[in-house]
Amino acid sequence: MDSRSRRSTRALMLSALALGAVLPATVSAPVAAAPTGPDVSSWQHTGGRLIDWFAVRRAGHPFAMVKATEGLSYVNPYFVPDSLMMRAAGVARGTYHYARPELPPEPQAVFYAATVLGQNGPLDLPPVLDLEHSGGLSPAALIDWTHRYLNTVRALTGRMPIIYTYPVFWRTAMADTDQFTRYPLWIADYRGNPAPEVPGGWPTWTFWQTTDRGSIPGIAGPTDINVYSGAQGDLGRWANMSGLFGSS
């Protein structure tokens, strides 16, 4: 997700892997020829350059995730132009809020929902909660925070949110809770395995962030790349454009 906020979490991931702390529990899911797409924030706008979403779409990427908000005050300055150009190019749009659990969840959910003006129109994927930091909360408190945020966003947008996280964080900061399995999972796992590790009792993953060093035409510099598993059915239908992308 956001490059600045990922540095510390990635260091923790690598440290845990080096110590053998990760015990892979993979779920088989086909990824060959599955739909792929980037996720972007202000960091993909090097020197203020806009993303060429038509080039992204021509390169075969039918969806993308865009950072919308963080905490209670930050709005991605490129959120509006990215959103407009994605729609014009026919790229299905997911939008995410970067969680700051040291701040109350309900106002963050309202801030996000007001910024994205809902997430239920044509070419809209469900809203995403990017959960990578505990904010100093205990697992029990963070689990409660997450429930409250997701319930509020669901009430405001009318859609079941997606949770973005990574295995080490979920197993430690969230005590590997299985309380969120009804939400689609977007998991970050860069180890190059046939499938990602799926924590928290989820039966499968929906999106898999396979790298943060990908290259996509139309985006300056490296970008995250994600795979859609098909767990929610046809991608076009899920993005409120039935049949747009064909069967997944």
The tens digit of pLDDT for each residue in 102-140 reads 999 999 999 999 999 989 999 999 999 999 999 999 999
Catalytic residue among 2, 70, 124, 132: 132
The answer on pLDDT for 223 being more than 50 is yes
Residue 244 falls inside a structural domain: no
Residue 112 falls inside a structural domain: yes
Residue 25 falls inside a structural domain: no
Pair of tokens at residue 155: 């009430």
pTM above 0.85, yes or no: yes
Instruction: Please give the average per-residue pLDDT across 74-98, as a whole number.
Output: 97
The answer on pLDDT for 12 being more than 90 is no
Residue 61 falls inside a structural domain: yes
Residue 190 falls inside a structural domain: yes
132 is annotated as an active-site residue = yes
Range of the domain at 129: 3-11+34-238
144 is annotated as an active-site residue = no
User: What 3-state DSSP class applies to 94?
Assistant: strand
Instruction: Please give the average per-residue pLDDT across 209-218, as a whole number.
Output: 97
- What does the alpha-carbon distance between residue 170 and residue 193 come to, in Å, rounded to a whole number? 19
What is the model's pLDDT at position 243?
55
CATH number at residue 116: 3.20.20.80
Residue 23 falls inside a structural domain: no
Q: How many domains does the chain have?
A: 1
Residue 7 falls inside a structural domain: yes
Contact 187, 1 (CB under 8 A): no
Tell me the H-state helices in the chain.
3-18, 53-58, 79-89, 105-116, 139-157, 167-172, 235-238
What is the model's pLDDT at position 177?
98
Catalytic residue among 2, 39, 130, 224: 39
User: What 3-state DSSP class applies to 217?
Assistant: coil
The answer on pLDDT for 247 being more than 50 is no
Residue 17 falls inside a structural domain: no
Contacting residues for 164 by C-beta, under 8 A, at least 6 apart: 1, 96, 128, 129, 130, 131, 132, 186, 187, 188, 207, 209
- What does the alpha-carbon distance between residue 247 and residue 33 come to, in Å, rounded to a whole number? 11
The lowest-confidence range among 14-23, 118-127, 238-247 is 14-23
Instruction: Please give the average per-residue pLDDT across 87-93, as a whole number.
Output: 97
